[in-house]
Amino acid sequence: MNNSLPQLPEYDPADNLWDRIEANLQADELFTRLSQELPLHDPNPDLWNSIEANLSVSDTTQIRPLWRDVCVQWVSLAATIALLLVGVWSIWPAETPEKVHIEYATESIKSISDKKSTRPNWPSTTSRTEAFIAKRCAQQKAVCQRPEVHELRKQLTALTLKQQRIEQEREIFGDDPTLLRAQTKLETQRAEVTKELLTLLES
């Protein structure tokens, strides 16, 4: 830093710089002194009158209220309509956005044995029964052509289809109580139909 100072370039101030500064200072001092020495003048007594006279001329200009051109009835009508619209909009039945929340709870299982499906090995029994019925029908065609036998056999087929559907559902939903109940119902029906069919065929 000290070494760099001598390297800076040198400038000479303007010749009349000090005179200018002195003149500025003197002018300030002179203005303060002179402003105190200024004379006081009273205003002309009829000045306000002349101003007022000028003002009275401007009185002739008319001041128009902004609302005068717009009919009051129309304004009130528009306001009423606007209010009505707001009212209708506010009570108009609108689809409310749905509210979603999640609840957690704990439930105790009634009994584990519930889960074990009451499934007697029906596929094997069924196929055996069906084989028996088919054999019987082949032997006694006349019996099987009776409408009630025909109807029962049709029912048995329908029950098998329903049973398959439940099996499919159980492939997805597992040991679901509703599906198990449905299955039990089908099995009961099946047992009833089979029993009736066998009775008819035996007779």
> Could you list the residues that contact other proteins (CB under 8 A)?
93-96, 98-109, 112, 148, 151, 155, 158, 162, 169, 171-174, 176-179, 181-182, 185-186, 189, 193
The span from the CA of 25 to the CA of 18, in Å, is 11
Q: State the minimum distance, in angstroms, from the CB of residue 163 to other proteins.
A: 11
Which whole-number Å values give the CA distances from 41 to 8, 37, 50, 92, 185, in the listed order?
Answer: 60, 13, 19, 77, 122
Q: What is the DSSP letter of 145?
A: T
Q: State the minimum distance, in angstroms, from the CB of residue 150 to other proteins.
A: 12
Q: State the minimum distance, in angstroms, from the CB of residue 162 to other proteins.
A: 7
**Between residues 120 and 177, which has the closer beta carbon with respect to other proteins?**
177
**Between residues 20 and 185, which has the closer beta carbon with respect to other proteins?**
185
**Between residues 124 and 203, which has the closer beta carbon with respect to other proteins?**
203
Residue 193: Cβ within 10 Å count: 18
Tokens standing for 44?
A: 């002309």
182 and 166 Cβ atoms separated by less than 8 Å: yes
**Between residues 50 and 164, which has the closer beta carbon with respect to other proteins?**
164
Q: State the minimum distance, in angstroms, from the CB of residue 196 to other proteins.
A: 8
Residue 80: Cβ within 10 Å count: 10
**Between residues 72 and 109, which has the closer beta carbon with respect to other proteins?**
109
Q: State the minimum distance, in angstroms, from the CB of residue 69 to other proteins.
A: 44
The span from the CA of 18 to the CA of 61, in Å, is 61
